[in-house]
Chains A and B, each alone.
Chain A
Amino acid sequence: MAIELHPAQTFRMPRAFSVPRTAIWLFMAAASFLVFFPLVWMALSSFKTSEELWRYPPTIWPEEFSFEGYRYIFTQLQFGRYFFNSVFIAVVSSIIAVLTSALAGYVFAKFQFRGKDVLFIAILASMMIPGTVLLIPRYVLINWLAWTDTYWAVIIPQGISVFGIFMMRQYMHGIPSDYIDAARVDGVSEFKIFAWIMLPLCKPALAALAILSFIDSWGALLWPLVVLNSPEMRTLPMGVAGLANVHGPQLYYMLPAATITVIPIVIVFAIFQRHFVNAMTSSGLK
């Protein structure tokens, strides 16, 4: 079910308190801006000179735009490389996640087979297992496979998302099976039915899952930190965190680094906000 973001509301929800409406509106506007403010400050301050950053009284809008921080992190440090690593890992993980989840979700939604219920319960149960207890054995496994310091070490565990299966199954349940039956009668192969009939019908769910997977992968720190060692393989969060652990003037470089970590996500989110919110709410309810 979708959050209705449509402005037209014919039903007025009752008030929690008898407070004038404009007061609530003002308060909400201020609160939402306040919560968003750190990101705004971060982006603007990333263009300040190091002197202006620590100036008292503090400024919000930079007096003069300085790209020194950005220049430094891309030339002296390896943030261009970190950016590429993050993009590559996130894109590949998302593609794998979407495809495997769609396939598995389709099968759970539209087929019957031996052990189906057991497997589904197993999938649900696995979602409840806290990741920490799996951390060390997974690391040992990656080591044993000689996958440390490779992209695969990060992509494979992220690329298969049990949550994604759950979401796709829910969505596909709602799609009538008539098209599928008709196609079968016509003798179309199962995979073609999936690829050319089901997938196009699921575009909103696929998009939402792709975005969620991308964002999850992009922001991950602990697992990449564990399996990636060499500087060339680092992801953006690792790069930013690396700057944090050396105190002092490093904040000046952390801001551009943090900004390039955040801006792509914020832009994607701004464009796809509606789909995104729909996906989160329809899968979050039990």
Chain B
Amino acid sequence: MVRSKLYRLQTRFVWLSIAPILFYLAVFVVYPLGASIYYSLWDFFWNEFAGVANYREALFEDPKVSEAFVNTLLYAVIRIPPTIILGFFIALALNRIVVGRGAMIFGFFAPYITSVVAYSAVFLYFFSSAGLFNIVLQAVGLPAQPFIRGVEQALPSLALMDAFKNLGFDVIIFMAALQNIPHPLYEAARIDGASPWQITWNITIPLMAPTILFLVVVISIWTIQVFEPMYVLTEGGPLGSTRTVVYLIWEAAFRNGRLGYAAAISVMLFLAIGVISLIQLWLGRTRWEY
């Protein structure tokens, strides 16, 4: 078949245009994925092949690993539901507000886009023994709390700080999704005499279900990989109570030089995230038809 000149030029343009992406995918995504598995079978400390030794150690011998997974799960459970629930109602309310809406969106959303490190720095003060939170608590007669210095309180403190910071993301996504609900649905409901609560429960929330699912899955994937708050505020402590999986991986690889071990844990994390996401998607499959 004779290829026209135009066709050849177009083809060349196309392949040149996607070359960077191909390069990136091959070098920085596909190769590392395979390499992770390969490295996890090595012991970098003694520079020898280790087989499944890393996995055996991580799964059965090292208490820090299971502890890290538990911490991370706990962190996610504290961090995610409040933002979704609060975010939903805030978005509902914001959609009805006309005056000053832009400013309110700004207030909610600005913390989301600022650097986690900077935001954590502020909370270093808020959480400290002479810091704002304790001042407020003591002013109303409650005892001062250790917050990030307390073994029990450190993880929830960080999780709530995280939730507070990222609330704006949920709000924005919900606001956009709410605006996609066709108005005639609401009109029809009101004509039929539905009460406001009925409207919310039977129309808004079911129509929001895909958005809620999307948020839960995406935020879970990100939250499970949290690192910065621990690094900035608690260094995994006190007593390892804020050591999350990624923090553990970083520690193992770049503090202790055990790259193979860290790679094994990261492969485990990858699988765990995959399983969790699939479970979430399966549980959230929509049952309503329109």
Binding site for B on A (CB under 8 A): 1, 3-5, 7, 9, 11-18, 21, 24-25, 27-29, 31-33, 35-36, 38-39, 41-42, 45, 53-54, 56-58, 100, 103-104, 106-107, 111, 113, 119, 122-123, 126, 128-141, 156-157, 160, 162, 165, 184, 189-191, 194, 215, 218-219, 221-222, 225-226, 236-237, 240-241, 243-245, 251, 254-255, 257-259, 261-262, 265-266, 269-270, 273, 277, 280-282, 284-286
Interchain CB contact under 8 A, A28 and B104: yes
What number of B residues sit within 8 Å (CB to CB) of A?
A: 112
A237–B231 alpha-carbon span in the complex (Å): 11
Docked complex Cα distance between A53 and B130 (Å):
10
Q: What B residues does A257 contact at CB under 8 A?
A: 118, 121
Residues A245 and B96 in contact in the complex (CB < 8 Å), given A18-B196, A219-B114, A237-B115: no
Query: Beta-carbon contacts of B75-89 to A below 8 Å, as 1s and 0s?
Result: 000000000000001
Asked if B142 is an interface residue, CB under 8 A from chain A, the answer is: no
Question: Are B266 and A12 within 8 A (Cβ)?
Answer: no
Main secondary structure of the interface of B (DSSP, over half): helix
The answer to whether B32 has its CB under 8 Å from any CB of chain A is: yes
Contact A221 B17, beta carbon cutoff 8 Å: no
Chain A binding surface SS class:
helix
Q: B177 near A: Cβ within 8 Å?
A: yes
Chain B residues near A12 (CB, 8 Å)?
A: 96
- CB-defined contacts of A131 to chain B, threshold 8 Å: 225
For the complex formed, measure the closest distance between the CB of B78 and the CB atoms of chain A, giving whole angstroms: 17
Interchain CA distance A257-B89 in the complex, whole Å: 35
Closest B residue to A38 using CB positions: B122
Q: Taking the nearest CB of chain A, how far is it from the CB of B108, in angstroms?
A: 5
Q: Which residue on chain A has the smallest CB distance to residue B221?
A: A130
The stretch of B58-66, B151-159, B183-191 in contact with A is: B183-191
Task: State which of A24, A156, A157, A270 has its C-beta within 8 Å of the C-beta of B106.
Answer: A270
With beta carbons under 8 angstroms apart, the residue of A58, A137, A244, A255 that contacts B32 is A137
B36 touches A136 (CB 8 A): yes
In the assembly, what is the distance between CA of A237 and CA of B128, in Å? 21
Q: How long is the Cα–Cα vector from A106 to B17 in the complex, in angstroms? A: 9
- The verdict on B193 contacting chain A, using a C-beta distance below 8 Å, is no
CA distance A7 to B95 in the complex (A): 11
Known: A14-B190, A129-B29. A29 touches B100 (CB 8 A): yes
